Chain A
């Protein structure tokens, strides 16, 4: 009896963990208009519905744009800062690191609220751009921390060798540092893409007419349960999982070898 208890617990835990996702995906194939038992189908009608929905497709394009754009900026800024702090001796570098990491300690709601206040008081207003700015704020600390942690003596030696051979600093960065740090740069980028892709509250506060996918889903939620929401929710979930698996299979696996 005691021998099976751990396995029973493991199975129960996995049922609990996968129950909502399983129900979400299963009833996205529901034939009929209510995503509750009994299950009729499978049918792809709701996936056709979302593909034909212009608001959802616009939100999808916006989400992709914001996720990739904000992640690119966050990783670029994070890389430069990590390089500067790891390769140059700066006064107060502990303070700079603390400042760059600080947004991680504050909830997204508060980051969004602060930006909302400044943007409305200064008359700038909100748009897709401001949501992207917010996403850079929350992803920059992560990108910086990941890249900074992977800057070791090994790269530094290669950089010194390149410099001794006459390469200028920009050349060293492009030809030596970036290629050597590519796994962690890519990890930071894709982590930031998933976080931005899933993020709701900052996008909700800082967008108006052009919204991202989670915000569009939020407004659809007001009309109650619908297999259409299941279909779009499954889609959002599968994209996040695909990015995470991609990360796991390529970057982290290589990193361990």
Chain B
């Protein structure tokens, strides 16, 4: 029991709840020094490492996520471009087809117009030649007939006005006969 007695002697007879002022001071100062070191060095150093580590990990993840996002964006862009290109190709094809049809129609129309024009020209030429032939024939036939008739009748039919009237009447008779024959 003597150890306990030594302890009790060291404690004295004081109530254990009554503190020793010097001990309190030492604990206070010791704790203050420790707290200062912790605030000044320990916590900042550990926090710095934690932050760096978190950044290293999160940075890697963020980088990977960014690469992923970029890749999918590129893919999306390529898909979009492909779709655009397809649409464009279709559009061009449609346009070409429409244009071809248009050109064909134009050409047809032009050809038709040309042929019509040529036909009309030919008609006109034929008509004018026929007219010219009729005129020249009328004059020649009139002269020939007059001469012939004059010779036959022996009568001078030089009087132009009369001769013309006779020729006209003759021709009119001829035409009416022709018309009747044609009918």
- Physical interaction between A and B: no
Q: B interface vs A, CB < 8 Å?
A: none
Q: A interface vs B, CB < 8 Å?
A: none
